[in-house]
């Protein structure tokens, strides 16, 4: 019997008092087990550093309103061994959303990213973009984006920082031009929160993502799965996704580029590592 079924029968009084207590104990144990489920990246010497700490030679930049390759106002930089998103040359943010794409496309892999938010949001940045960045996976290429396109069609592992008081989980899901299945049901809303804790201040945070083509994607913090979904796909009602479909793209997303965002809040990245996974490798069960 599933957890939801146990709760249902308890609620409608189908169990005796003793049986109900027993059922609730079972629910508590199951929930605790789920909450502490751990998965770990495979032990391997095959990790690849996508960012070399020295330059952006393996990366391509695309800003809204700019041609591919233009680093608008020197926003993306390498300083002190960090890949930085910097806004010191901006007087005001005017919708200049940017992304920096790694040169290679990937399908099955384990990704590890260390990031932190620093300083103040640039004036004019939207409220939702406060301490907000993201890792785009299964993304379209920068060359295929429209000149005025704000975000690549992709799956976004949203990175959020706390405001010092309110709960604000990180490693969430956002879906520009895409949909996924959550618990077997198509999810059409733009964002879905993970179960992570909130990370306030300028501390470094490590987020991992297990990507298995079109089969399953997991967001992981400290070995705990905080979000899981399946069957990423193009949203046929989205204009940019439709352009890709009309150009012959597979509606089911099994691979794509990895990109980082520039959405108006300064962000540092010090580690961007990837472990390729064999397609036939068995998926760890939670």
Q: Are 129 and 266 a contacting pair, CB within 8 Å?
A: no
Residue with tokens 């609620």: 11
Q: How many domains does the chain contain in total?
A: 2
Domain holding 27, by residue range, is 3-35
Strands (E), 53-165: 59-63, 76-79, 82-85, 98-106, 108-117, 132-139, 155-160
What is the Cα–Cα distance from 178 to 233, expressed in whole angstroms?
A: 6
What is the Cα–Cα distance from 169 to 164, expressed in whole angstroms?
A: 12
What is the Cα–Cα distance from 74 to 269, expressed in whole angstroms?
A: 16
Residue with tokens 């996974």: 277
Q: Are residues 58 and 22 in the same domain?
A: no
**Mind listing the pLDDT tens digit of every residue in the chain (286 residues)?**
544 444 444 444 554 555 554 554 444 444 444 444 589 998 999 999 999 999 999 999 999 999 999 999 999 999 999 999 999 999 999 999 999 999 999 999 999 999 999 999 999 999 999 999 999 999 999 999 999 999 999 999 999 999 999 999 999 999 999 999 999 999 999 999 999 999 999 999 999 999 999 999 999 999 999 999 999 999 999 999 999 999 999 999 999 999 999 999 999 999 999 999 998 777 887 6
How many angstroms separate the Cα of 174 from the Cα of each of 57, 157, 278? 28, 7, 26
Residue 156: inside a domain, yes or no?
Answer: yes
Q: Are residues 142 and 218 in the same domain?
A: yes
Q: Are 252 and 177 a contacting pair, CB within 8 Å?
A: no
Q: Are residues 131 and 16 in the same domain?
A: no
Q: How many residues does the chain have?
A: 286
This prediction has a pTM of 0.87
Q: Are residues 200 and 109 in the same domain?
A: yes
CATH of the domain at 174: 2.60.120.560
Beta-strand pair 59-63/98-106 = antiparallel
């Amino acid at each position: 019997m599933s957890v939801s079924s146990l709760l249902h029968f308890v609620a409608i009084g189908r169990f005796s008092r003793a049986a109900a207590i027993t059922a609730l104990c079972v629910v508590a144990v199951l929930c605790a087990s789920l909450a502490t489920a751990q998965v770990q990246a495979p032990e391997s010497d095959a990790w690849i550093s996508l960012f070399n700490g020295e330059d952006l030679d393996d990366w391509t930049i695309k800003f809204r309103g700019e041609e591919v390759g233009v680093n608008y106002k020197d926003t993306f930089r390498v300083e002190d061994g960090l890949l930085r998103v910097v806004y010191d040359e901006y007087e005001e943010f005017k919708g200049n959303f940017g992304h920096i794409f790694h040169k290679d496309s990937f399908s099955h892999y384990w990704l590890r990213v260390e990031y932190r938010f620093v300083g103040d949001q640039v004036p004019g940045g939207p409220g939702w973009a406060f301490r907000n960045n993201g890792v785009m996976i299964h993304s379209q290429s920068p060359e295929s984006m429209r000149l005025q396109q704000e975000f690549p069609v992709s799956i976004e592992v949203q990175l959020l920082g706390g405001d010092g008081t309110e709960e604000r989980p990180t490693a969430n899901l956002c879906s520009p031009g895409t949909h996924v299945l959550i618990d077997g049901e198509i999810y059409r809303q733009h964002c879905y929160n993970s179960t992570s804790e909130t990370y306030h201040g300028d501390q470094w945070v490590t987020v991992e993502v297990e990507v298995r083509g079109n089969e399953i994607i997991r967001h992981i913090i400290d070995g705990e799965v905080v979000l899981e979904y399946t069957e990423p796909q193009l949203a046929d009602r989205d204009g940019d996704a439709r352009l890709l479909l009309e150009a012959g793209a597979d509606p089911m997303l099994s691979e794509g580029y990895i990109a980082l965002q520039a959405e108006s809040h300064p962000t540092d990245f010090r580690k961007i590592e990837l472990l390729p996974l064999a397609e036939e490798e068995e998926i760890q069960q939670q």
